[in-house]
Amino acid sequence: MHILHVVGARPNFMKAAPVLRALASKPGVRQTLVHTGQHYDRIMSDVFFQELEMPQPDCNLEVGSGSHAQQTAAILRAFEPVVIERKPDLVLVYGDVNSTVAAALVCSKLGFPVGHVEAGLRSRDRTMPEEINRLLTDQLSDLLFTPSPDGDENLLHEGVDRSRIHLVGNVMIDTLVRLLPRSEQHRRANLAAPYVLVTLHRPSNVDDLPWLRELLATLAELSQQLTVVFPVHPRTRERLTDLSLKGFTADAGSHPRLQLLDPQPYLDFLALQRGAALVITDSGGIQEETTFLGVPCLTVRENTERPVTITMGTNQLVGRDLQKLRKAAAEILRQELEDGPKQARTEKRGTETQHRPPCHIPLWDGHAAERIAEIVLRRGTP
Ligand code: UD1
């Protein structure tokens, strides 16, 4: 059986890696890995292949950056001849990035079966490009692998046939479970707890310059109390340049404890998350990872496609309300100081993680990819 995987952007790599591994051990399976080149910098792509021990892509479409239409169109054009030539029995696509929807569209038009890993998530916010990608990819896919029961409900509600939906759990957590012990060696020696970890890259936060300026001012304010570590996505870095906010650099005299870093490799970032007193983010995956790790998270968005992170109690949506952000952060940090240093708590959690994750979400157990492999093989060649 020939399975072709499509990856393109940073969050895809953590999702595809465990599925590639699970299928590699199965007899009679041949795999092809296509990288669209949506992300292309070493720190946004290559370093993940190394750390996640992924095979090098068999083919890189090198589409690069562009508007949504340009990027999606470039993938459609470049990917079509690859599928026609390689004739896979199944194409697996991951998550909700432009590469995901583009690959699914090509395959469904040509009649190649598609499996969507991380299906069914919905923010119900169609201003998010990822929401459009999720809706369309799920409609185009033959197999829908969901991470949590809300995904199944969303798909059923949209009229997807139950027989196509498979609740398998969270593949991103598979990667986390496997690499958490290794991340221990990637702790930043010169970063003392407690600290706050920040990531922001959504267009709704970083393309709105007055809002970005206010957000940064709030982070700078927070950094008067404790260290704030902020690995900056290339999109965000561009906006900071637009804003001429170079005063907000790590060595800036006015905000010495607001540290702007380059995007971090997987193991370094995992170590940062694990040791953080608080994470402030607009990422989807980080909401899930902090939930698994039991680290408090404030999400700078009005909605989330990952409601389980809210119901588990680790994640709160603060929307575009900076007062709410300040208040929630102060409350979390007050508790943090009362409970003692986070480092001690997370270390305890760290040893437990292999057997008993701090947040018990069914099927977020490190074995989601194995379940996908079983289903794919059971289904066999059409
Ligand atoms: C994409 C995904 C988003 C995901 C994010 C993770 C879509 C619609 N969005 O957003 O869901 O959370 O990846 O990072 O697919 N750039 C570089 N080097 C790179 C890649 C990008 O400098 O290797 C810069 C370019 O200026 C580019 C910008 O980052 O224009 C944005 O990249 P793009 O892939 O368009 O979207 P992301 O914001 O990364």
pLDDT in tens, 9-44: 999 999 999 999 999 989 999 999 999 999 999 999
* Residue scoring higher pLDDT (226 or 244): 226
Pocket mutation for ligand 1, best pick of 40, 65, 233 (most atoms within 8 Å of C-beta): 65
Q: Is 204 in the pocket of ligand 1 (CB under 6 A)?
A: no
Q: Looking at this protein, which amino acid is placed at residue 127?
A: T
Q: Is 10 in the pocket of ligand 1 (CB under 6 A)?
A: yes
Torsion region of 307: left, alpha or beta (phi above 0 gives left; psi -120 to 50 gives alpha)? alpha
Over residues 179-192, mean pLDDT: 94
Instruction: Pick the atom of ligand 1 nearest to 40's CA.
Output: 23
Among residues 179, 180, 142, which one has the least CA distance to residue 164?
142
Give residue 93 CA to ligand 1 midpoint distance, Å: 17
pTM equals: 0.93
Q: Is 132 in the pocket of ligand 1 (CB under 6 A)?
A: no
Known catalytic membership, residue 201? yes
What pLDDT score does 343 carry?
A: 45
Q: Which residues on neighbouring strands pair with residue 90, listed in sequence order?
A: 3
Over residues 307-320, mean pLDDT: 96
**208-222, pLDDT tens digit by residue?**
999 999 999 999 999
The owner of tokens 């139950």 is 162
Q: Is 41 in the pocket of ligand 1 (CB under 6 A)?
A: yes
Of all protein residues, whose CA lies closest to atom 29 belonging to ligand 1? 235
Over residues 115-127, mean pLDDT: 97
Instruction: Pick the atom of ligand 1 nearest to 96's CA.
Output: 11
Give residue 339 CA to ligand 1 midpoint distance, Å: 38
DSSP H or E segment with residue 132: helix 129-140
Over residues 57-83, mean pLDDT: 98
